[in-house]
Chains A and B, each alone.
Chain A
Amino acid sequence: MPDSYTETTLKYFPERCINCRRCTQVCPHRVFAEGPDHAELVRPSACMECGACALNCPVQAIEVQSGVGCAWAMISAALRGKDMDSCSCGGDEGSCCGERKNPSTCCEIK
């Protein structure tokens, strides 16, 4: 059976890393681990593309096209002829999924 979740848009450039370890603190899926000289990319396929590591890397050693992995949001966007990639979950005006007043279904664990 095919696995759709083996590849992501995460890119890591270890030569730029200054070993501040912020990526290991913000990643919710242990994608990065601490190393002696620089962070190590240990579980790339576990990346959910939340974008926390790239946003908190002070030297741009990480790149990722962040977004929400929500089929509902993407299918609704596609059906309305909007861009699947610029769509976010939830019910704000301006998001392409405005009709579902349901921001919480996405990732409501807290």
Chain B
Amino acid sequence: MEQQQPSCTCNGDTPFSHEIHAVTGTITFADRLDHFFARWGWNREGHRVDPGLYRLGNPDPDSPVFASANYTLSFDALRSALIGLDAWILVLDTKGINVWCAAGKGTFGSDELVRRIESVSLASLVSHQKIIVPQLGAPGVSWPEILRRSGFSVEYGPVRASDLPEYLKTRTATPSMREVLFPLRDRLVLVPVELVHAVLPMVVVAAVVYVLAGLVAALAAVTAVLAGTVLFPALLPFIPTKDFSTKGFILGTVIAIPFAASLAMVSSLPVWAEVVTAVVPLLIMPAVTAYLALNFTGSTTFTSRTGVKKEIFRYVPVMVLLAGSGTALGILLGISRLSGVI
């Protein structure tokens, strides 16, 4: 016979399911430092808060309940927007990932929300059985399922926590509170992470190119990468055409022109060699910038999988062809120079 286990082991190992953390709406210098490091991709997994229930101010059973992610940027945006209010905050375990991404992966999802509602005994703490979930949590949360499984009705709050004070006056969101745009500020805030990912391969490639083809060529390599990771996000809506790859080709061609000119004019080459020297950056740089531009799709707020997949099949072969033929021509020039043809 299996021994009957007491429901409460009371040995200190059991986590206190009713433990409620106290928190304020104040963002400290340490919080800002943490946000800064998060934006630079430093200690990627480390920007977390403990999942569970938080008490902001002095909430009572009538106070609203807000769901959030255990990513400091998400949680801090919420609590600072609610400063001065009394509220409950239910933090889901999203593995340190923001609400929207976590919802896409399902970690900010129905299962986790129901589990948290139960584990903190939310129904015994509040009288209203309502929970305000950020709108961008909706790709992971199904309100009919939450209602059926927990008795709580989900109210979708605005996209941005900063709109919450306005939202709470009427408990309705205006159309602009529901829409996700991608303004310059939101695009620029992504540049550090894009740069951090590109900088190591960029330095390696630039060093190799410097040894093989000289300073101007190395600068061209650096410029193509910076165009794809810094200029592209900044200029995104202003570059003509709809597809990211074609936008990247255009930007890459524009920045390649000065390099083509200066490389070709450097020495007293025969005409055919000057032309080939000018063509090499015009082939390689747009391909590199376009590839980085295409990779920026994942950071945007609006690209569909269907569209991105179409872009991959349409343009990646073109990028490979351009970069490949440019490299082949570059090698041809190198061989001609070494063998004394030019």
Q: Which residues of A contact B (CB under 8 A)?
A: 1-5, 7-9, 22, 24-30, 46-52, 55-56, 58, 65-75, 78, 84-85, 88-92, 95, 100-110
Contact = CB atoms under 8 A, between A and B. Distances in A.
A30 B179 contact: yes
B278 interface: no
Nearest to A52: B138
Contacts of B169: none
Nearest to B146: A56
A8 B303 CA distance: 10
A44 B72 CA distance: 34
**Chain B facing A: main interface SS:** helix
Nearest to B74: A110
B308 A71 contact: yes
Contacts, number: 206
Given A28-B159, A71-B311, A46 B295 contact: no
B298 A71 contact: yes
B100 A55 contact: no
Given A5-B242, A28-B179, A48 B142 contact: no
B95 A92 contact: yes
B98 A25 contact: no
Contacts of B189: 108-109
Contacts of B307: 4-5, 7-8, 69
**Chain A facing B: main interface SS:** loop
Interface residues of B, number: 69
Contacts of A101: 44-45
B144 interface: yes
B156 A25 contact: yes
B302 A4 contact: no
Contacts of B179: 28-30
B186 interface: yes
Interface in B185-238: 186, 189-190, 193-194, 197
Given A28-B179, A104-B98, A106-B299, A74 B104 contact: no
